[in-house]
Structures are given as structure tokens and as C-alpha cells.
């Protein structure tokens, strides 16, 4: 049979081999044989845009391998029929709710046996990889004798992001194939690499253009392709003495960002390699047990929950008319970075300010960002071309969306609206990036208040995924729908919130930061306050966070929220106002609570003999966030507890392994949380009073 084209990938042809018989007995695969006697096995999981390794898929895979053994083709090509890539990894749905490590180990052993069977086939096997090749997908590829990548392919083991490590033999095969130090680093960080880097490391044997895939496959099957081989250095680094030394260093590095008590997976992986890296069979066996015990930890189950929260929040974007031109007013830290991010996502952006200097600074920051996140120099150039300096603000006339990002002053924002509203085209959206001012206050001077909505980004824009989409009772629903779709189009997660002081995130975060100020008033060392939050699992403490955000912004938000909510919040101390008056605003001025250099806070270590973090300190900082989140649910500011948790994680970095402030309350027990809040109220004041929403909060 002549080989034919099976699948078209957008604007290019994938030479996947001959067309399968329409009566194929397999649901998730297509198996054919070409004129050279080579079998082409195409992963094509039924009912999904991406290939994932479910129990059903693995069972069918095992049957096919048995058939191939009996028919003995000249070679086997494993490939994907999906546009999105090779294999995205395991079906994470099957991990949810796992509680018995023995059951997990039994299931993972069955999957292990399939991958082992693939590796043991007595015919040459070749993985041909386009798009993403992640987790279990990379483990399938590692079990093949040869690996050929198409330009643009990406490789990685992201399991650590789910509180796990590779579980289908990847730990043993990866550390044997390439430099184990490089392999461990990739598994410990979850980073992905491109095809060229994979080739340099020896992970793949060749990079081929699509039109040359068939010839490359023939070379691999018939022994003409030079395969990557582990070198002497790999043997040395996998020796017992080297593993012991390197494992100690890896633990020290892991401890800087992932404490063992919160994130056991990196340490489980390091232990696995240190103990068994010299014995492949022992490491393969030990991997199953280690993986199973990690799977049932609260950390893994909460991180898996966060994985699905992200997917659920992506769906909130929905669909709507495309925004092609964005006009940003205010080229400061937030406005400039919002403009840069939109340009990076393919939109035309005009950036306006009252002076040229802020615009120039924003363009410079954008160029630096683009060089970091865009690989091709021509693409960096194109992104910069889309970001247009616009000192006179003429971009307003043609923009589909105008984002106002001027300082948090009601009168200033209203003055800006008065100048731009008459120039806006019909159907354009007016969005404010206000972090706290209610839209009901901002809209009072507008001719068409239905066009005003909030798009509240978080700093740094390029890293924090959440955007609060703020509505008021007079909004045009079609414009709100377009705004949600816009957030999805720029690869961000929309959070629908009703306009209220501080919305959700800042309202929940402010008591956390103000309580830290109160603790400073009590002469508690600022480093100890930060250490208390970090011990709970926050990415940084509230003092350092205040410096990051800017003390002036923190003070403005705190004053506004206290004016609305009164004694629910403590007053900002007078000395904080003095620091702002003196220009000690934090990172952006080089000095706040800490001194800052090269974007990092100078934090001398705490004395080993001084005061230590207490549970009460942690509760004072953390429980008010849960309390406010319950209040926002009760008031209807947000309408979904899971989305609240996702918002706090994706906007503030709230300890992901705890699953969010409401999930933490459930895990701890809402009665316990309410009791702790009452104890704090008796000792420290009414700001800790449990919200009435706890009475109906579902555990």
C-alpha cells in the first residue's frame, strides 16, 4: 500500500503514514503498516483535543503491543494524530481523591508494565514528536529506542507542579539517558525545554522538518540514524559518591523555594535517585511506591485541585467579539506592563501618558520582558512594533478597549474620563485598573456609565494570572462578555466580581498586611512577621509584599477600605504615613521596610536565639483572609467558593498546597477557625470577629 497523508496540522502536513482502515478495532489509536513494513501507531484519544494516558488508553496500548509482537513489523513509529502535540501526560482526573497508596501503586504498576513492554519490544521503535511531550508522554518517548523531534516540540516533566514526580519509569530512564544533574534539575523544577536543547542534552536523536519525517524514520528503523548515547560523565554522576554529594546540594536548593514540610515531592525524587540511581531495576521498582505515597498526600491532592481550578477559571472567559486595539492611559509600573503584555499577545497597543519619560521607561521594560519570554529576535521586534508610544493619546479614537491605569485618586480618574469619553468610538469599552475604588463612585460623571467596567490586573502582570473583571448594576452585558473574552485572549484568568470596595482580592489581602503593621507596632521583628507567613506557606511575608506593591498604594487601599468597613480593619499607623511622605515606598524607591538592590530585599537572617514564630502569629495573619472570603461569598461579591480559592492563589500566591483560604478553612474545620477567630477577638479586638457567613459556609 502506498503511504498517504493522514492528517493536516493547520498550515503544514504531518506525514503520519498510510490511512488506517475505517474498521480499526481501537478507540484511542490508529495502527497501520507502510510499504516498508514499518508499523505506524498514532495516538488519537477519543473525544479529546489532546492525548492523555488514562487507564483505558494504557489497557488498549498493551493489547496493541501484544499484536505487534506477534506480527513483528520492520519497526514501530509512535506518533500523535492530534494537532496539539504528542502526549500531554497522564489523565489527572484519575488522580483526584486518591487516598489509599496501595491502590495507587497497583494502578501505577499496571501502567509501568505497559511502558516496560514498549521498551522490551524486539523491533526498532521510534517516537516522532511534535508539539508538547510532557510527563507520561515523555516517559512513553523514553521507552522507545529512538526519538525524532519536529521543530517547535517541547519536552518536560511538570509532575512536581502537582506534588508528584514522574511515575512511569521516567526517573530511572531520564537520569540514565542524559546527564543526571540536568535530568534532576528539569524534574525538580518542572521546566520545559525546546527541541534544540533536548538534542544538545541527548534526549532526542534528531530534529527533522515535517517533510523529512518518513526518511528520518527509515534511517532510525534501519540503523542509519546515529543515536544519542550516555557518556562517561553520566556513569560518574550516577555513582554512589557523586549521588550523595549532589543530592545534598539539591536538597539545599529545593529548601529555598519548597520547604519539605509543605512540598514533599522534590525530596522524594532526590531520595529516590540518591538511594537507587546506581541500580536501574531498583529505581524503577522504588519509583512506584514513592509515587503512590506522594499521590495521597494533602499537598498533591490540593495541587491537583488547583490544576482543575485553573481550567475552570479559563472557561469563565467564554467568547465574544475580538479586541484588536487596546489603548492604555498611564505608563507607570502597572499601565506600562499591561500594555506590554497585551502587545506580547498579538494586539496593537497605544500607550499614553502626560509625559514622555514614563512612556520611554515602559517601552524599555517591555523590550526587556520580550527578550526574556520570546525566543525569536524577529518576534521580539514584532511585539515592540505593536506597542506604540502615544503621547497625545490619539489611539483613543480607534481603540476597541481603553484601559485607564492612572494613580488611585477618584478625582484624577474622573478628569481622565471627561477628556477621553467624547473621543471613544461606538462600542468601545472603558476599563479602569483601579484596585479598590467602587465603580459606583467612578461612574458618576460619565455620559455613558454602562461602558465602564473594571479590569484589575495584579503586579507583576507577566507572572500573576488573575484579572478581576468588575461589574456594576448598570453595565452593558455585551461589553462585559467582550471583556471576559479579552482576558482569555491575553492568556489570563478572569474573575467576575461585583463592584465593592477592594473587590475580592485586595479586600482579603488588606487585613493580612495591616495586621503585620499592627504587629510591627507591638515591636515584633519584621523578619519574624514575614517568617510566620512563610512558615504557613505564603511565597513571601506581608512586610516584603507591602514593599513589593508600594507603601503608597497599600496606604491608599487601606484608607479607602477602612472608610467603608470601619473597625473591621485596624487603622494604618502614623509612622507608615511618615514613610510614604518621606518617599520610602518600597522596592520602586529602593527603600521601604527593607532596603532593595537589584529587585531583591536585603533581609539579614534572624538570630537563632531570638523569638520564634508562634501559631498565634500565623493565625493573626492568615485567618482574616478566610474570614473576608466568607464575607464576600455571603455578600454576593463572588458566587463560587472554588473560584474564590483560585483567585487568591493566582493573584496573591496564597499557599497553593493548602488549596486556597476557603479550602484551608474546610481542611482545618470551620468550627475550629471560628473558635480561633473568637479567641483572637477577645485578645486583640473586634477586627477578628467571625463573619456571619460562617453559619452557612459548607464544610
Looking at residue 554, its pLDDT comes to: 87
Residue 391 has pLDDT above 60, yes or no: yes
Question: Residue 124 is placed in which grid cell?
Answer: 526498532
Instruction: Please identify which of the residues 59, 69, 105, 159 carries the catalytic annotation.
Output: 159
Range of the domain at 409: 318-500
Taking only the tens place, the pLDDT of each residue in 256-313 is: 889 999 999 999 999 999 999 999 999 999 999 999 999 999 999 999 999 999 999 9
- Do 591 and 575 reside in the same domain of the chain? yes
- In sequence order, what are the beta bridge partners of 75? 38
Same domain, 401 and 518: no
Which of 234, 266, 296 corresponds to the end of one domain?
296
CA 150 – CA 14 distance, rounded (Å)? 10
Confidence of residue 230 (pLDDT cuts 50, 70, 90): confident
409 occurs within a structural domain: yes
Domain end among 500, 524, 559: 500
Q: What residues have CB less than 8 Å from 431, skipping those under 6 apart?
A: 401, 402, 403, 404, 452, 453, 454, 455, 483
pLDDT of residue 400: 97
Residue at 663 is within a domain: no
56 has catalytic annotation: no
Least confident range of 28-37, 314-323, 445-454, 631-640 = 314-323
Note whether residue 448 is domain-resident.
yes
Is 139 one of the catalytic residues? yes
Note the pLDDT of residue 692.
95
Q: Residue 625: which residues within 8 A CB-CB, separation 6 or more?
A: 508, 509, 511, 512, 648, 654, 661
Query: Is 29 inside a domain boundary?
Result: yes
Same domain, 254 and 341: no
Q: Are residues 402 and 446 in the same domain?
A: yes
**Do 157 and 259 belong together in one domain?**
yes
**96 located within any domain:** yes
Say whether pLDDT at 10 is over 60: no
Per-residue cell: 546: 507591602
Residue 533 within a domain: yes
Residue 234, domain CATH? 3.90.226.10
Same domain, 91 and 217: yes
279: how many CB neighbours lie within 10 A of its CB? 13
pLDDT, residue 6, reads 34
Residue 91 lies in a domain: yes
pLDDT digits (tens, 9 = 90+) for 615-628: 999 999 999 999 99
Q: 496 and 511 share a domain?
A: no
C-alpha 267/C-alpha 255 separation (Å) is 9
Residue 445 belongs to some domain of the structure: yes
Q: Could you tell me the three cell numbers for 404?
A: 485607564
Are residues 64 and 167 part of one domain?
Answer: yes
Identify whether residues 547 and 594 lie together within a single domain.
yes
Residue 493 shares a structural domain with residue 512: no
Question: In 144-279, which residue ranges form alpha helices assigned H by DSSP?
Answer: 170-177, 180-189, 195-201, 213-221, 232-237, 240-257, 265-276
Q: What is the CATH number of the domain that holds 362?
A: 3.40.50.720
d(Cα 618, Cα 607) in Å, to the nearest integer? Answer: 19
pLDDT digits (tens, 9 = 90+) for 153-181: 999 999 999 999 999 999 999 999 999 99
Q: Which of 60, 139, 544, 584 is catalytic?
A: 139
Residue 329: helix, strand or coil by DSSP?
strand
* Total of domains in the chain: 3
Last residue of a domain, one of 248, 265, 296: 296
Give yes or no: residues 412 and 529 share one domain.
no
380 and 489 belong to one structural domain: yes
Tell me the Ramachandran region of residue 152: left when phi exceeds 0, alpha when psi lies from -120 to 50, beta otherwise.
Answer: left
Residues 433, 650: Cα–Cα separation, whole Å: 17
Q: In what order do the strands lie in the sheet with 125-129?
A: 29-33, 38-43, 75-80, 125-129, 146-150, 206-208
535: CATH: 1.10.1040.50
Q: What is the pTM of this model?
A: 0.89
Amino acid at each position: 500500500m502506498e503511504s498517504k497523508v493522514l492528517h493536516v496540522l493547520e498550515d503544514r502536513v504531518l506525514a503520519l503514514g498510510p490511512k488506517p482502515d475505517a474498521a480499526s478495532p481501537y478507540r484511542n489509536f490508529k495502527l497501520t503498516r507502510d510499504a516498508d513494513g514499518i508499523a505506524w501507531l498514532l495516538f488519537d484519544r477519543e473525544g479529546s483535543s489532546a492525548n492523555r494516558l488514562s487507564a483505558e488508553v494504557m489497557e488498549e496500548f498493551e493489547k496493541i503491543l501484544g499484536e505487534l509482537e506477534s506480527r513483528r513489523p520492520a519497526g514501530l513509529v509512535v506518533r500523535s494524530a492530534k494537532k496539539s502535540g504528542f502526549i500531554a501526560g497522564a489523565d489527572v482526573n484519575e488522580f483526584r481523591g486518591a487516598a489509599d497508596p496501595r491502590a495507587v501503586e497497583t494502578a501505577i504498576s499496571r501502567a509501568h508494565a505497559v511502558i516496560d513492554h514498549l521498551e522490551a519490544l524486539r523491533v526498532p521503535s521510534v517516537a516522532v514528536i511534535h508539539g508538547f511531550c510532557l510527563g507520561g508522554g515523555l516517559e512513553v518517548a523514553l521507552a522507545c529506542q529512538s526519538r525524532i523531534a519536529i521543530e517547535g516540540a517541547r519536552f518536560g516533566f511538570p509532575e512536581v507542579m502537582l506534588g508528584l514526580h514522574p511515575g512511569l519509569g521516567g526517573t530511572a530512564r531520564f537520569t540514565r539517558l542524559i546527564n543526571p544533574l540536568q535530568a534532576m534539575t528539569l524534574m525538580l523544577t518542572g521546566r520545559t525545554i525546546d527541541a534544540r536543547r533536548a538534542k544538545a542534552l541527548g534526549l532526542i536523536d534528531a530534529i527533522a522538518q515535517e517533510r523529512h519525517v518518513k526518511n528520518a524514520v527509515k534511517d532510525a528503523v534501519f540503523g542509519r540514524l546515529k543515536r544519542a548515547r550516555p557518556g562517561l560523565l553520566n556513569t560518574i554522576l550516577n555513582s554512589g559518591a557523586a549521588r550523595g554529594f549532589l543530592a545534598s546540594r539539591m536538597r539545599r536548593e529545593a529548601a529555598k523555594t519548597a520547604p519539605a514540610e509543605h512540598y514533599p515531592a522534590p525530596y522524594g525524587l532526590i531520595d529516590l535517585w540518591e538511594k537507587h540511581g546506581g541500580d536501574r531495576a531498583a529505581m524503577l521498582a522504588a519509583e512506584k511506591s514513592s509515587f503512590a505515597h506522594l499521590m495521597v498526600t494533602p499537598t498533591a491532592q490540593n495541587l491537583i485541585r488547583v490544576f482543575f481550578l485553573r481550567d475552570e477559571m479559563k472557561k469563565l472567559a467564554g467568547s465574544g467579539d475580538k479586541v484588536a486595539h487596546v489603548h492604555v492611559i498611564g505608563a507607570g509600573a502597572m499601565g506600562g506592563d499591561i500594555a506590554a503584555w497585551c502587545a506580547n499577545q498579538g494586539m496593537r497597543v497605544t500607550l499614553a501618558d502626560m509625559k514622555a519619560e514614563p512612556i520611554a521607561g515602559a517601552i524599555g521594560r517591555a523590550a526587556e520582558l520580550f527578550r526574556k519570554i520570546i525566543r525569536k529576535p524577529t518576534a521580539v521586534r514584532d511585539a515592540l512594533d505593536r506597542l506604540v508610544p502615544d503621547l497625545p493619546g490619539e489611539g483613543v479614537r480607534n481603540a476597541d478597549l481603553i484601559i485607564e491605569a492612572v494613580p488611585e485618586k477618584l478625582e484624577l480618574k474622573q478628569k481622565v474620563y471627561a477628556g477621553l469619553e467624547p473621543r471613544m468610538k461606538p462600542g468601545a469599552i472603558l476599563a479602569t485598573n483601579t484596585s479598590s475604588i467602587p465603580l459606583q463612585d467612578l461612574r458618576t460623571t460619565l455620559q455613558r456609565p454602562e461602558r465602564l467596567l473594571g479590569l484589575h490586573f495584579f503586579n507583576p502582570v507577566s507572572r500573576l494570572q488573575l484579572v478581576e473583571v468588575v461589574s456594576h448594576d448598570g453595565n452593558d452585558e455585551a461589553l462585559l462578555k467582550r471583556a471576559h473574552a479579552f482576558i482569555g485572549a491575553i492568556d489570563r484568568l478572569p474573575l467576575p466580581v461585583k463592584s465593592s470596595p477592594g473587590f475580592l482580592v485586595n479586600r482579603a489581602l488588606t487585613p493580612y498586611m495591616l495586621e503585620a503593621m499592627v504587629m510591627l507596632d507591638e515591636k515584633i521583628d519584621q523578619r519574624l512577621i514575614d517568617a510566620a507567613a512563610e512558615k504557613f506557606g505564603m511565597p513571601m511575608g506581608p512586610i516584603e509584599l507591602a514593599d513589593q506593591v508600594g507603601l503608597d498604594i497599600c496606604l491608599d487601599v487601606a484608607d479607602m477600605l477602612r472608610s467603608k468597613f470601619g473597625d473591621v480593619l485596624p487603622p494604618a499607623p502614623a509612622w507608615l504615613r511618615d514613610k510614604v511622605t518621606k518617599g520610602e515606598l518600597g522596592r520602586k524607591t529602593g527603600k521601604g521596610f527593607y532596603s532593595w538592590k537589584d529587585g531583591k530585599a536585603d533581609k539579614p537572617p534572624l538570630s537563632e536565639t531570638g523569638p520564634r514564630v508562634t501559631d498565634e502569629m500565623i493565625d493573626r495573619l492568615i485567618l482574616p483572609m478566610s474570614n473576608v472570603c466568607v464575607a464576600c461569598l455571603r455578600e454576593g461579591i463572588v458566587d463560587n467558593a472554588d473560584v474564590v480559592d483560585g483567585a487568591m492563589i493566582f493573584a496573591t500566591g496564597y499557599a497553593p498546597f493548602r488549596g486556597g483560604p476557603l479550602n484551608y478553612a474546610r481542611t482545618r474545620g470551620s468550627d475550629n477557625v471560628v473558635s480561633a477567630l473568637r479567641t483572637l477577638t477577645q485578645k486583640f479586638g473586634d477586627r477578628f470577629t467571625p463573619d456571619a457567613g460562617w453559619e452557612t459556609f459548607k464544610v
